[in-house]
Amino acid sequence: MRLRPHTIAFTLLLGAVVTMASFATDMGLPVLAATAASLHVLPATAALTMSVFMVGFALGPLVMGPVSDRHGRRPLLLLGVATFAVFGALGAFSGSLPALLLWRFIMGAGAGTAAVLVVATVRDHYAGAEARVQQSYVNLAAGLAPIIAPTLGVWIAALGGWRAIYGVLAVGGLVLFVTVALFLDESLPTNGGTSLTVRGTLQRYARVIRHPVSMGYAVIVALCFGCLFAYVSGSSLVLIGVMGVSPSAYGALFAATSLGLVAGSFANARLNRAGVSHQKLVALGLTTISSVALGLLALASTGLLGPALLVGMVVVSHIGHAIVRANSVQGALEPMPEIAGVASALLTGLQMLVGAVTSAVAAGLFDGRTAIAMAGTMSVCAIGALSVYVLIVRPAEQRVIVPRGAPHPAVADAYAEVIVA
């Protein structure tokens, strides 16, 4: 009953697992006020449910990633999905905000563990251009979720209140658990190859950090995620608070920008299959993201930025984000085949940290009149990512040597070692 890796069903299952985090955050956005009223707290306090989820999402993989390199992806993936489902159900019965925050934190840890193991599973099964194609298709699911989730959350809340959202999340987690248990096989080539001592784990993290290509791509992913999150956290402040867009129209505009992620994922898959190098794609994507961010900053500074122009430019930027992410995630994991769990955990934790900081900065510097804070934060992250690629990653990739007997050039970089000066 196991799904073969090179099938559409296999890719769809991995994509479905990745969407858990998006549904758990985006479905609750429209009902934060109702949640706050029910638990007798302020809406701003209820928004902590989003923050603690992201903290759990960042911290869980840092532990479970190294464990998966020892004991395999499948058992820990099942544990992550089960954790998400069980504590989602507990969230539906929360009688106080502290209890809900605790369940949300553990939910986030489960979702983060599952997401990291999906990335590692792709790395286990694929290499080179084919791996980047698969990362694109997995990211495609992640891009579709923000389009669906807010509206779905409104419909569910209308039928059963905010608690029903947690019930639906729990049921969805249960369905995924059963599906993974039935159809997903172990992907780790050899179990038991790494120790689980604290010293050994720290050494493996240090190995990733010292590798200029792996760590460089992880930083690029994190900075691009920070750019993306600066928009997510600042978009409602700008579109509703400054530009006067209605809340319902804002939901439609937010969904429209996510179409850029979908288009970018499709484009990246096609371009990789056509033989376009990942270096060219990363450079193109980062240039696009940086150009849009600087353009938004210039328009915001001159007062010429309107809703249509903002959303249109962000759609273009999101296309670049989808291209950069698929290629950079694989670039971070490619040199670390035997410790892909550690590499993916570090990548995820770093991106969540940067995302939390940039969203706080964009919101904290908001002046109530312009989009300068949001666009400025996006620009800093985008230029930083482009600089890391040009100054660190690209020169390091040019020093790659391929051992004798390596396979076809399309997958040769999976076996390459980088000479560190």
Residue at 124: amino acid letter = D
Domain segments of the chain as ranges:
1-188, 204-400
Q: What is the rounded distance in angstroms from the CA atom of residue 119 to the CA atom of residue 328? A: 12
DSSP-assigned states of every residue in 47-98? THHHHHHHHHHHHHHHHHHHHHHHH-HHHHHHHHHHHHHHHHHHHHT--SHH
- pTM over 0.85? The answer is no
Question: Residue 33: what pLDDT?
Answer: 77
Equal fold, 1-188 vs 204-400? yes
Per the CB < 8 A criterion, the answer to whether 355 and 229 are in contact is yes
Q: Can you list the positions of beta strands (E) in 150-236?
A: none
Q: What is the rounded distance in angstroms from the CA atom of residue 293 to the CA atom of residue 116? A: 28
Residue at 91: amino acid letter = G
| Start-to-end Cα distance in the chain | 49
CATH, domain 1-188, list 1.20.1250.20, 3.40.109.10, 3.90.25.10, 3.40.630.20: 1.20.1250.20
pLDDT tens for the chain, 421 residues long, are 788 887 888 888 998 998 998 899 878 877 777 888 899 888 767 878 877 888 898 888 888 888 888 888 899 999 999 999 999 999 999 989 999 999 999 999 999 999 888 888 887 888 778 888 888 888 777 777 777 887 788 889 889 989 999 999 999 999 999 999 999 988 877 654 556 677 888 888 899 999 999 999 999 999 999 999 889 878 878 888 889 888 778 778 878 888 898 899 889 999 988 989 999 999 999 999 999 999 999 999 998 999 999 999 999 999 999 999 989 998 998 888 778 788 888 988 898 888 878 877 887 888 888 999 999 999 999 999 999 999 999 999 887 644 434 443 333 343 333 333 3
b/e string for 349-382 if b means 16 or more Cβ within 10 A? bbbbbbbbbbbebbbeebeeebbbbbbbbbbbbb
Q: Can you list the positions of beta strands (E) in 124-211?
A: none
Question: Residue 193: what pLDDT?
Answer: 54
Dihedral angle, C-alpha 128, 394, 228, 341, nearest 10 °? 50
CATH number at 204-400:
1.20.1250.20
Question: Residue 417: what pLDDT?
Answer: 39
How far from the centroid of its chain's Cα atoms is residue 208's Cα? 19
Question: Residue 195: what pLDDT?
Answer: 64
Instruction: Identify the CA nearest to 346 among candidates 211, 205, 199, 165.
Output: 205
Question: Residue 44: what pLDDT?
Answer: 67
